[in-house]
Amino acid sequence: MDEPKIMQVKQQSIKNIAFLTPYFKEGRGNATTARRIVTGLCENQVHTDVVAYDEQSISIDIVDTIERNPLLHILHFRRFSDWQEKNQFYLQTPYVITSGGTDVNIDIFKEEYKEKIGKVLRNAAAITVFSHDSKQKLLSVYKNLESKVHVIKQSVWLPEISGTRPKKTVYLSEDGFNIVLPAGLRVVKDVLYVLPALIELKQSFPKLTFTIVGSAIDHSILKAVSDVTKTHPWVSYYEDVPFEEMSLIYEQSDVIINSSFSEGQSSALLEAMFLKKPVVARNNGGNKSIIDHGRTGFLFENLQQFYNQIRELALYDELCQYVTENASEYVMKEHNLKNEITSYLHLYNEVLN
């Protein structure tokens, strides 16, 4: 599916920045965020130098890239503070820093990270988070930062598919009831939490399938997932799926789920909502920030609620149509690319002026 074009923002003055992200090539949520923002900036004639600081070693070229730009945009509080500490490299250039999700939900509450993250945040010219829930969490730990913290909602970005469609690496059943969980294998994503409910649902819906798509980050979780796929042939796991293929996966799916016990703001849920696929997600601050329960999707507190919600979506086409129409309309209005990029450009100019 073609991505919506980003309208250019008028009366901008900034012409070039460096964007520092932990990941840019790997199939992770941070890479998706980085690629989306960088694409938007480039389409608005802002030359953007990308430094993927966890994918490459520090070098003279990286230092030169950072120092020659008038402004830096950094992604992920904790990962950047780790990188800065490891390399003993401290910035003189003004910077905007954006939450990566896990940092504001988990890392800032851990004693081993709290102080070094605080130093990075206090030295920032501006801090951005994706939701008001994230802002409240941040200010509960760092109480004197309120004037610096801005809420800029994530938008949906699906790379434009032109010419031939990308080669498929994920195949879902053509006549199945396909449930897909896009998530890297990390503890916080809790990807096997819903399995007992799905096993029970399988008895009533024999064509049900469950597919996990994401990077194998935690190898103990990878082993657990692999063991499940051997025991239950209707469960599949796909690693290192190109982001460009995700829209094709959504097209083949019937429900997109999120089982994270903590979430910043799931780009996968927003993408699915945009493409009119029903979403069922665990009730946490990030998911609540984008799902109006019963109207644009469903939030569950426990396995019984999850079971009931999936069952209703499988039985009632009218319910699917109702929530997906509302969800798509909401995302196009509240999470569009133009608004996100406009907000960042205004913030950059505020910082520099």
**Domain locations in the chain?**
16-155+336-352, 177-334
pLDDT average, residue stretch 63-87: 95
Q: What is the mean pLDDT of residues 102-120?
A: 93
56 vs 19: which has the higher pLDDT: 19
Bigger pLDDT: 2 vs 332: 332
Q: What average pLDDT is seen over the chain? A: 91
Q: What is the pLDDT of residue 165?
A: 57
Query: Which CATH architecture describes the domain 16-155+336-352?
Result: 3-Layer(aba) Sandwich (3.40)
Provide the β-strand partners of residue 19: 50, 73
Summarised one tens digit per residue, pLDDT across range 12-49 is 578 999 999 998 887 677 888 999 999 999 999 999 99
Reply yes or no on whether the pLDDT at 336 is more than 60.
Answer: yes
Per-residue confidence at 163, pLDDT binned at 50, 70, 90?
A: very low
pLDDT at 160: 60
174 or 162: which carries more pLDDT confidence? 174
- Per the document, the length of the chain is 353
- Between 166 and 135, residue with greater pLDDT: 135
Position 77 scores a pLDDT of 96
Average pLDDT on 67-78 reads 96
| Per-residue CA distances from 79 to 30, 107, 146, 348 (Å) | 11, 10, 22, 22
Burial class (CB in 10 A: 0-12, 13-18, 19+), 317: exposed
* Beta strand 177-182 pairing with 149-151: unpaired
pLDDT digits (tens, 9 = 90+) for 189-247: 999 999 999 999 999 999 999 999 998 989 999 999 999 999 999 999 999 788 888 89
Query: Could you tell me if 53 and 23 are in contact, meaning their C-beta atoms sit under 8 angstroms apart?
Result: no
For the cut 80, the answer to whether the pLDDT of residue 170 exceeds it is yes
Q: What is the pLDDT at residue 83?
A: 94
For domain 177-334, say whether CATH 3.30.210.10 is its number. Answer: no
On the question of pLDDT at 167 being above 70, the answer is no
Question: Considering the chain, what percentage of its residues have pLDDT values greater than 70?
Answer: 94
For residue 9, pLDDT beyond 60: no
**pTM of the entire structure?**
0.84
Residues 239 and 223: their CA atoms lie apart, in Å, by 13
How far is 284 from 194, CA to CA, in rounded Å? 15
Can you give the pLDDT at residue 25? 83
For the residues 303-309, what does the mean pLDDT come to?
A: 98
